[in-house]
Amino acid sequence: MDTSPADASTFRQDLFKACTVPRPIGWLSTVSPDGVANLAPYSQWQNLTWDPPMVMFAANQSVLGGRKDTVRNTEATGWFVWNMATWDLREAVNISSRAVGPEVDEFELAGVDKEECVEAPGPRVRQSPCHFECRYLQTVRLPAARETPSVDLVIGRVEHVHVDDAVLDAAGRLDLLKVRPIARLGYHDYTCVDNVFEMVPPGASAAELAGLAGVTVVEDPAGGDGRCERHRRP
């Protein structure tokens, strides 16, 4: 079937989302100015660049009306936190996706524990093995169609990375087969990372390989090294 997104009579949004897979999950925690913790998963989530590390998530307007709590909290406090969604945490991730009011603490709703961050004012999910504390940079308001009047594309810089030692291999690399992250597919479907293979580009230089692995650091003109702080949970 050949369709165009502009042709609303034939283009099926479920086909579009079913083809853009797998999508990493932005399980994001924030806190409101009133101190209410918020936790919600976003499947429009991705890294933008890695030196300095920057990420983005896109949030459609809430079905309850208005902008998502995650967006409003991020803009108000200047921070959001990414928590890795894993197979073991799949039920908590699903529960935290419920559309509830801003007065509801989804940590309590989903039955997960809070852990204090280094700089971000809100908590992170203690049971998650990996976290990014992200400093808010900007929001880009995108036009949307039909039922959804607007989309917020939120960009942040990763300032702190937290990784549990239990999911690192002997070389200090993240062992995804221990983590078993989950990802969104189309419809109500998910997948889980349970297979990893490596491919090295033939003839690539050492600099190219370092860049692909994300280990090169570009000097920050402001005087820093451009890196975020990395923390290991023993």
The answer, yes or no, to whether residue 224 has pLDDT greater than 70, is no
Give the residue from 8, 213, 212, 26 showing the smallest Cα distance to 134.
Answer: 26
Provide the pLDDT confidence category of residue 212 given band limits of 50, 70 and 90: confident
Query: Which pLDDT tens digit goes with each residue over 80-91?
Result: 999 999 999 999
Average pLDDT over residues 194-216: 86
Give the residue from 68, 52, 75, 61 showing the smallest Cα distance to 136.
Answer: 75
Give the residue from 79, 63, 231 showing the smallest Cα distance to 155.
Answer: 79
**pTM tops 0.75, yes or no:** yes
- For domain 14-220, the question of CATH label 2.60.120.640 is answered with no
Fill in the amino acid letter for 3: T
Provide the pLDDT confidence category of residue 97 given band limits of 50, 70 and 90: very high
Supply the mean pLDDT for the chain: 88
